């Protein structure tokens, strides 16, 4: 299975989601799931994660060091089973660039309800903590969904 998480610049929301989702997939031993994050814009390509996003992840016990921003599409978009947009603008930008039926909002899986993952870039630390909380609970639900559709070994 291949999953992509996409936001605007790939330095805040989608890399936070990639790090947390990878942690959750690894914990469930779903290491055959290919996971990437990307941005609809390419102006941050090659850069590390936003320092505030990285600090929020580090504070919560995650390792953000390996991330480098990249622009969507990453490889052939039709090879992804699931492309998760972080907000409605990202969803609109991705229309026609993802497999039919495989493009969804990230928070479609959120147990607290669907909606946008707010962009914390222009705010303070609290916005990054809010995004992390959304990402953690939603990642748990995504991994449960992935695990439920996988053949048992």
Which two structure tokens, joined as six digits, stand for 115?
A: 């909606």
Which residues touch 36 (CB under 8 Å, ≥6 apart)?
Answer: 2, 3, 4, 5, 18, 70, 74
Nearest to 5 by CA among 132, 14, 13: 14
Element (H, E) at 77: none
Rounded Cα distance, 140 and 153, in Å: 21
Q: What values do phi and psi take at 85, rounded to 5? A: -85, 140
Active-site residue, 119 included: yes
Of the candidates 13, 22, 52, 107, the residue annotated as catalytic is 13
Of the candidates 87, 110, 119, 140, the residue annotated as catalytic is 119
Active-site residue, 63 included: no
- Catalytic residue IDs: 7, 13, 119
């Amino acid at each position: 299975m291949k999953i992509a998480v996409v936001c605007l610049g790939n330095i805040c929301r989608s890399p936070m989601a990639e790090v947390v989702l990878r942690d959750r997939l690894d914990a469930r031993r779903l290491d055959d799931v290919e996971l990437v994050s990307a941005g609809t814009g390419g102006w941050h390509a090659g850069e590390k994660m936003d320092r505030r996003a990285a600090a929020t992840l580090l504070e919560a016990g995650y390792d953000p060091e390996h991330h480098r921003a990249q622009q969507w599409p990453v490889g052939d978009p039709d090879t992804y089973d699931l492309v998760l947009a972080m907000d409605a603008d990202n969803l609109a930008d991705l229309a026609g660039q993802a497999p039919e039926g495989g493009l969804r909002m990230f928070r479609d899986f959120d147990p607290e309800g669907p909606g946008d993952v707010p962009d914390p870039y222009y705010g303070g630390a609290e916005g990054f903590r809010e995004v992390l909380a959304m990402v953690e609970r939603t990642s748990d639900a995504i991994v449960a969904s992935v695990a439920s559709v996988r053949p048992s070994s």
